[in-house]
Amino acid sequence: MMNTNIEVANSQENLNEITQKIIGETCHQVRFSYGSELRLYFGEMTPYNHPKLKHLRKGSWQFSTRATPWYLMQNDHFVFDPLPSSTTDHVKIYLQKLENKKLTDFVILGEHNFQLSLHFEDDYKLILEPDLDKDDSSLADWELLMANEQILIVGPGKFWECKSIHEAYSRDLHKEKMIDSFTFPQEIIDSIQERIEILERCLNNANLQDEAVAEILELANSRQISLSQLKEEFENFIYKLNRFTKLRFSLNEKTVKGELSTLLFVKCTFALKEIEDLSFDLLLNNDKIKIYRELTNDVVGVFNQIKNEQDYELYIMVESLKHLLQSLIKCSLRSNAFTESEINAFNLGDITPQESEAMLISLASTKKWDYVYRKLA
């Protein structure tokens, strides 16, 4: 493994030696990853190890543009220069011209702008123009994941580093585990639906000797609300649950495509928190213990793995999870799903959120990473 933070101008020969190894490989696939960043897959295409991604293929070499502007040329004429308003579907029409073509050269130009030029068969060239004066002090200009499980990271600025992929991409594994933690037991959903049907019977003068009906009446009496009000609360719960399910489905779809959305993650977290806040007054004690124990264990496991990561996306996710954890712990203690000593044994540290829901949504929506960097500093 090479030393990190090497200046390009003083190590052009070493940098070229690393990048020359990809020359001759075929570009099999062009895709967009998180943040609409361009990604090109070269070399042998194999399935992902994660079971949810096994239907997709990845290249033994992967080139990512990060947020660096690029344009496509052929025979030294412009083919496509994307505008901010360009959609990924529109851009793909042009970039698919690179698929199934061999890379013939990989050129880093000059000591001033460090323009990168990827040359392909049929005289296609993908040109990257790094902004050396950009305000973003953390985002790389481009990355090359190599077949030897090393990753070359160039930028920001005039520096580069080469390190193990396992070190560089450990946060992606955390994100996959986060998605798996967003589950709501199907049997609980079925139970709620069943109670709505029972409420309908109650409102239609059902047999009060029926055990299930008596249970519903007891719940309404303990809450000091009418049966019609209780039915409205159950229906609202189902509405919130359906909204959460749609968000989680969208989040899973993005993750499968390698495009995990921080904004969707934040919305999904708070949607689940909202369900938890509603569930305490609607679930039976046995249901409460089951769901609070399962969800709390899952979320705690993810939170403890990522809480100390110095990463702009994970900072937003950790802050979102703090809100969810506070709700889960409160419900767990009230329902006796966990004792105080069991909660303390999680070693969560301070889970007081530093950001509000509105701020987290704003940060995830507008990518105000400068604000996040100051928080991480």
| Confidence (pTM) | 0.52
Rounded to whole angstroms, how far apart are CA atoms 100 and 90?
19
Please give the mean pLDDT across all residues of the chain.
Answer: 79
Rounded to whole angstroms, how far apart are CA atoms 113 and 297?
49
Rounded to whole angstroms, how far apart are CA atoms 191 and 272?
18
Q: Which long-range contacts (CB under 8 A, 24 or more apart) does 170-177 make?
A: 171/306, 171/309, 171/311, 171/313, 171/314, 174/302, 174/305, 174/306, 174/309, 174/314, 175/255, 175/260, 175/265, 175/317, 176/50, 176/52, 176/255, 177/301, 177/302, 177/305
Which conformational region is residue 130 in: left (phi greater than 0), alpha (psi within -120 to 50 degrees), or beta?
A: beta
The pLDDT tens digits of the residues spanning 153-210 come to 887 777 788 887 655 555 555 555 555 556 655 655 666 666 677 777 677 665 655 6
35 has a pLDDT exceeding 70? no
Rounded to whole angstroms, how far apart are CA atoms 299 and 316?
15
Tokens of 300: 């705690």
**What's the pLDDT score for residue 137?**
47
The pLDDT tens digits of the residues spanning 98-141 come to 999 999 999 987 666 678 999 999 999 999 988 776 654 456 78
Rounded to whole angstroms, how far apart are CA atoms 350 and 136?
29
Percent of the chain scored above 70 by pLDDT? 72
Instruction: Find the mean pLDDT for residues 36-62.
Output: 78
77 has a pLDDT exceeding 60? yes
Instruction: Find the mean pLDDT for residues 74-87.
Output: 82
Query: What's the one-letter identity of residue 91?
Result: V
- Is residue 307 within 8 A of residue 318, CB to CB? The reply is yes
Q: How many residues does the chain have?
A: 377
**What's the pLDDT score for residue 52?**
47
Percent of the chain scored above 90 by pLDDT? 24
Tokens of 155: 């930028």
Q: Point out the least confidently predicted range of 90-99, 254-263, 340-349, 367-376.
A: 367-376
2 has a pLDDT exceeding 50? no
